Structure 1
């Protein structure tokens, strides 16, 4: 090749390796950093001062685990996101302690395996349930193996105290720069304003190649706002005026989102004037001010008329500030049980149970054979396996690589710190620093592992045990091997069950939304329950986003695992186009009372394509 024609050849990494090297971006969560610094370290110091070091270690571990779940969002959402896993962890501590005290090695392994099966099925329900399942198993292993002199109930209370302290900090401390209005609703205001910004971005991208990505961003913003506003009220049963205003502002964004989606579906550019209204609404939400005059878009098409009507409704709702239906997810016990014990939950539960049980059995066998020498923390092995076996933390090989690299780095760093820091005050300070770094380290699993490794090793030494960096590395590598083996074992039923289950739920939601739009519209706009339509629309887009996430993770597995979900991405893409078309049909029906021939033809084309793609992917048709 001549020098003139020579080109740089870019190496394309395999998906499983590319995912391991990918890092999330975003601003530093200073509020979470502050809470982390005020949580584990001070709790441990207080315990040392009153000579209850063991309970202080348990409380610090609980605060650390809560810090991992301390993500951006509203205060009300944090009650469930932090509180539910904390309760599960306290229950795990209780069960693990009494099982460890009164059961032999075989019986204890059976108990832990059963907990793994239960927690694995729970984790298929959703992110909060997954966090609860993780803390249940980690705390059970700690309760069974950590040498703490206090009784099980005292350990459980210490665990609740540690997580509860971080949750209290989350509810009480204001966020920097959030003193506009009632600071307790800063997360809600930011989430609702983000919806209006996403609507404006979608309108600006209409008719361009970026429209699909902007529509996905709008779905994510709506999901985030829905979660931020869903949860316990922070004042009274009826809610404060600020809460009612936020609910009205969120509800007013739904018809705007619907109109913007219909305009993007049409594929024609929209005048800049149309996006200015949502931008001003976003500023009004964020600054807690009146909307002021809003520029009206052209009313030359059904979707533009719907956008104009939605802007007028939003301006009126902003001024009145009356509460409205949040169109929240209505998942009953039957839906939750189906997720936990369906195909996805069963596969997930079996793998978690096998990994947790096998690692507990191997760890106890090594412990009783005195392989551990002076180190008695056999519970590290099953606790490590819990994090490694969780597919919502990333693809299997990516998790293993990041965990191994992070553990080695963290153990080496701690060995250096332990050689120079005074004890216990230097180690307590190290715990505080690491707890503050946990919210930042969650951007990459290897970084999170390194920070947590240093923190845990420091806690072990404060508890009176010797430096354990070498055993920590060995046990982590052993857990990596166990999870890799179990992750590639054949399981009863069809592989890729979690992806297929998510896609089946999304297909059912899309079908319900389409049926409502087509069957519920026999006349002009106003004869139908739009609130029900918006609820179905939200569920359709939300379940599609969840399916897309599961598909993307599965696609980054090794080829031996990724092949089991081949074709599912194409099915999800067709479902998204179908839901977008359904939204466009709904807006058109509101305006004219009947479907245009182009809409009918597009629906028929998409339904036929969906049937073909489902057959190629080996998926059954959803129930009507």
Structure 2
């Protein structure tokens, strides 16, 4: 029977992307926070007779709600707080610029802000959110008629975003208080770290099959998410609580397991089903805080399996030090007969031997467990937090990606502000604010953004017109704001749905603030912004197009070569190696995401990044091979001809593919490899 063909398979990429929707469980905790954020703030302001301040606070809560994604509480402070600070700054600048300058100088000021915000947005997701809020708030401050001075607007904008951050920190996740976990404040970290162990088990189960590549990519995504979840203002060099120390140790223990699993996937030999049972039990232990039980050890027949066995032992020790008594290993071994079939005896004997070594080390011996030492170094070097130095930050915003991004944003933002003021529309600030969301390439391909924005705005405006005619004011509109705040975390799965919800919410705020209904003008402003962004997005620009993709790919190439150089150097610093491996896979994932977005553009834009997907695929194979080499070098101290020949082939392919993609042929050649 022939397999059914999906709709996306027969549609052009730019249209298929517009129909694509993210999947996953409903984030009920975010829904509750959204319902308690903008709506109650607006209600309190209405009852106090300060509707305009309530509108500003609700805007701050709404924009923070768009950035309120799943993750840890510590990461949420940075993810929500930094864009909120940028938005407050934009509100101050926009307010005073709108009051002091005419149309032409105001447009020039907004264009300059767009140039800076666009360049900064190329740094990463948080920077992109900060750039977006800076420009949106600047447009609102310049054009929205509010009686309060700029500093007061900024203060209440921050209060709205800060209220959502307080809810994010204080409210427990549903079910967290009844679970076996000891501290609900770390539920996001526990979920992220346990997902890493599950991803390792999934990769081990897929070894030798067609899904191994996808499972390795899923493992990278899980490690990236856990790395972000453990980063933030609460994470210090010396953890402040037992729960935090435990989670950091559990994350560090997953790094050698991930390395061994990747090496086994590279070898391609199928593994017994029970190979992934150990990581699966560790994942359950992270989620519940309970002992994980005996960990079956794999047969130590090849280098990858020996590395996996050693990593499982280290993980068991890390979990023990976090509060689980080591006695369960010995007891389980006795119950299972300590035979090689179930592997418990091997784990117990190894743990016993390691325990003797640790006792000797505490008495002055100089041979600690190398995995323990590497994990401690990993934590001490702060590898969970991924930050850019000042030079790297400047290099990013002034590089090809930052320049192209800044140029497009500045041109769209400035042109839309000029056109809007020339039309003398009372809500002229909507046009540049809409253009900001449309011109953001990290939100999806250009045509996909435009189609979804237009459809979402039309639907939202028509829906609001019906609601405004039926509901009492202002109470009914306050209720609409609360409902929309609750829907935002679900609506973010599709840009059109998010646009529809935000449109209803913003139109409700406008009416509560005392302005006339604006449903139909909202549609006209949005369609005009879509036209401006489409025209500017296809204009020729100075320099080479696809700058963001090329910048991401260059960063991935540099990280891959740094990782390869460290492995071939023979250095015995596993903490540094794991850090370089994480950076290599992470930059590759970022490059892949940028390439996928660029490939879904119209052909006139997609052609500028042709061939980059081949470069990314070769880099992934190179990093996988480097990981296999690292594991084999740990085991034998030398590489096999299979490893060296594979590295040389991949390096040659990389040089050729970079030249075809217009990236240049720089990189290590096989001669350098053999010398190393």
User: Scaled by the length of structure 1, what TM-score is found?
Assistant: 0.95
For residue 91 of structure 1, the aligned residue among 85, 89, 92 is: 89
CA distance in 2, matches of 1:435, 1:9: 33
1:525-564 paired onto structure 2 within 5 Å: 528-564=572-608
Q: Note the C-alpha offset of 1:88.
A: 0.3
1:524 maps to none
Do the aligned residues in 2 keep the contact of 1:197 with 1:282 (CA within 8 Å)?
Answer: yes
Do the aligned residues in 2 keep the contact of 1:121 with 1:341 (CA within 8 Å)?
Answer: yes
Do the aligned residues in 2 keep the contact of 1:508 with 1:622 (CA within 8 Å)?
Answer: no
CA distance in 2, matches of 1:200, 1:539: 22
1:525 maps to none
2:78 maps to 80
CA distance in 1, matches of 2:27, 2:239: 31
CA distance in 1, matches of 2:207, 2:6: 35
Q: Deviations over 1:350-374 (max 9, x none)?
A: 000000000001101111xxxx3xx
Does 1:443 pair with 2:493?
Answer: yes
1:337 maps to 394
1:463-478 paired onto structure 2 within 5 Å: 463-478=513-528
Q: Note the C-alpha offset of 1:290.
A: 2.2
For residue 539 of structure 2, the aligned residue among 474, 479, 489 is: 489
For residue 648 of structure 2, the aligned residue among 576, 601, 604 is: 604
Do the aligned residues in 2 keep the contact of 1:507 with 1:622 (CA within 8 Å)?
Answer: no
CA distance in 2, matches of 1:577, 1:500: 19
Q: Note the C-alpha offset of 1:467.
A: 1.1
Q: Note the C-alpha offset of 1:530.
A: 0.3
CA distance in 2, matches of 1:453, 1:335: 37
Q: Note the C-alpha offset of 1:178.
A: 1.6
1:212 maps to 213
Q: Note the C-alpha offset of 1:519.
A: 1.2
Distance 1:63 1:236, change over 3 A: farther
Do the aligned residues in 1 keep the contact of 2:266 with 2:625 (CA within 8 Å)?
Answer: yes
CA distance in 2, matches of 1:500, 1:306: 36
For residue 589 of structure 1, the aligned residue among 615, 621, 633 is: 633
Q: Deviations over 1:290-324 (max 9, x none)?
A: 23211111100000000000000000011112973
Structure 2 unaligned regions, length at least 5: 323-374, 669-676
- The number of residue pairs the alignment matches comes to 607
Does 1:149 pair with 2:147?
Answer: yes
CA distance in 1, matches of 2:407, 2:48: 43
2:39 maps to 41
SS, match of residue 207 in structure 1 = coil
Do the aligned residues in 2 keep the contact of 1:44 with 1:56 (CA within 8 Å)?
Answer: yes
CA distance in 2, matches of 1:160, 1:455: 19
Distance 1:9 1:595, change over 3 A: closer
CA distance in 2, matches of 1:168, 1:336: 29
Do the aligned residues in 2 keep the contact of 1:504 with 1:622 (CA within 8 Å)?
Answer: no
CA distance in 2, matches of 1:561, 1:235: 44
Do the aligned residues in 1 keep the contact of 2:461 with 2:523 (CA within 8 Å)?
Answer: yes
CA distance in 2, matches of 1:181, 1:130: 35
CA distance in 2, matches of 1:430, 1:8: 40
User: Scaled by the length of structure 2, what TM-score is found?
Assistant: 0.88
Q: Note the C-alpha offset of 1:620.
A: 2.0
CA distance in 2, matches of 1:9, 1:252: 41
For residue 530 of structure 2, the aligned residue among 471, 474, 480 is: 480
Q: Note the C-alpha offset of 1:621.
A: 3.9
CA distance in 1, matches of 2:6, 2:81: 50
SS, match of residue 402 in structure 1 = helix
1:177-256 paired onto structure 2 within 5 Å: 177-179=175-177, 180-233=181-234, 238-256=239-257
1:253-272 paired onto structure 2 within 5 Å: 253-272=254-273
For residue 566 of structure 1, the aligned residue among 597, 600, 610 is: 610
Q: Deviations over 1:438-460 (max 9, x none)?
A: 00000000000000000000000
Q: Deviations over 1:591-622 (max 9, x none)?
A: 00001111000000100111111111111245
Structure 1 unaligned regions, length at least 5: 522-527
Distance 1:211 1:364, change over 3 A: same
For residue 135 of structure 1, the aligned residue among 127, 133, 136 is: 133
CA distance in 1, matches of 2:172, 2:631: 41
1:578 maps to 622
**More moved, 453-462 vs 285-294:** 285-294
SS, match of residue 10 in structure 2 = coil
Does 1:317 pair with 2:367?
Answer: no
Does 1:362 pair with 2:360?
Answer: no
1:286-301 paired onto structure 2 within 5 Å: 286-301=287-302
Do the aligned residues in 1 keep the contact of 2:546 with 2:608 (CA within 8 Å)?
Answer: yes
2:14 maps to 16
CA distance in 2, matches of 1:432, 1:561: 40
CA distance in 2, matches of 1:623, 1:614: 9
Do the aligned residues in 1 keep the contact of 2:655 with 2:667 (CA within 8 Å)?
Answer: no
Q: Note the C-alpha offset of 1:623.
A: 6.3
Q: Note the C-alpha offset of 1:383.
A: 0.2
Q: Note the C-alpha offset of 1:475.
A: 0.1
Distance 1:71 1:46, change over 3 A: same
1:170 maps to 168
